[in-house]
Homo-oligomer: A and B are copies of this chain.
Amino acid sequence: MFYTDGKLQYPVRVEKPDPLFARALQQAIGGIEGEIRVAMQYFFQACGARGNPKFRDLLMNTATEELGHIEMLATAVALNLEGAPLSEKEAVAADPVGSMVLGGINMKNLLSAGLSAMPVDSDGVPFDMSHIYASGNIAADMTANVAAESTGRVLAVRLYNMTNDPGMKDMLSFLIARDTMHQNQWLAALEELGGPQGVFPIPNSFPQEKEKQEFSYAFLGFQSDGTNPIAGRWSEGQSVDGKGKFTATPMQPLGQKPVLGQAKPGSGAQTEQM
């Protein structure tokens, strides 16, 4: 169960409203790197976390924080849209290259939302909840979370670099710091789950003797000239999970051309296929 006090986790201040930056901020709300994604991802991971309950608590606690981040960003979008023009006439009056602003914003922020935030990305595409990765495997979930916070912080940095507004820079410096923590937090959870050698390969519950082991640590080449691709840490030495040694080899097809049967009569194919 959840509670609110209606206040913002961190102050949101806009000195000079900038409708184009409002559009960019939408990515941090409804983009795949955005706050809806992490809030809902941690929420659903928490709800499906089996085993040690500490992970459920950890996940739901941070899901709760992320809900507050959506609220902050939605406020920032609305404040940046203050004073956005409602018509080309108004736009041109405000600015010699005025209708540019009208053309540059997500029009739905104006037409659908009346100059408020929406759960869409910076091109107006609505967030799709298929991006909530919650696998039922706690370690896979943690890797997904490290990835989410990595792209999240990359986005926040790009937004920070895009604006000159001191209020926005301040808000983003807070969100960037939180992304630093959250990257570290999920990495710490992976350590608690056993570190690279305890955790990988995910899932660690599958007996590796059942996999076709000659391919488990082989860096396979698919170069048309039959050579291996570029060498690196991945092509020799101990594997990162500690359970094998990297090798490298060009791949040859082991199977043949697939042969499907004729089409079934009545299956809607052409006569020639039957």
Distance in angstroms from A203 CB to nearest chain B CB is 5
Knowing A87-B161, A126-B125, A202-B154 are in contact, say whether A4-B60 is a contact too (CB < 8 A).
yes
Residues 78-93 of A at the B interface (beta carbon under 8 Å): 78-79, 82, 86-89
Do B86 and A162 touch (CB < 8 A)?
Answer: yes
Do B150 and A18 touch (CB < 8 A)?
Answer: no
Do A126 and B124 touch (CB < 8 A)?
Answer: no
Measured between beta carbons, the chain B residues less than 8 angstroms from A268 are 114, 135-137, 154-155, 157-158, 161, 203, 205-206
Measured between beta carbons, the chain B residues less than 8 angstroms from A181 are 215-220
Distance in angstroms from A51 CB to nearest chain B CB is 3
Residues 197-242 of A at the B interface (beta carbon under 8 Å): 199-206, 208, 210-225, 229-230, 232-234, 239-241
Checking B44, B180, B256, B273 against A118 with a beta-carbon cut-off of 8 angstroms, the contacting residue is B44
Do B115 and A164 touch (CB < 8 A)?
Answer: no
Do A189 and B255 touch (CB < 8 A)?
Answer: no
Do B185 and A215 touch (CB < 8 A)?
Answer: no
Checking B9, B23, B27, B133 against A253 with a beta-carbon cut-off of 8 angstroms, the contacting residue is B9
Measured between beta carbons, the chain B residues less than 8 angstroms from A159 are 111
Do B147 and A123 touch (CB < 8 A)?
Answer: no
Knowing A130-B32, A222-B65 are in contact, say whether A12-B258 is a contact too (CB < 8 A).
yes
Do B267 and A136 touch (CB < 8 A)?
Answer: yes
Do B134 and A118 touch (CB < 8 A)?
Answer: yes
**Could you give 5 example pairs across A and B, Cβ below 8 Å?**
A24-B111, A79-B260, A82-B260, A138-B273, A180-B217
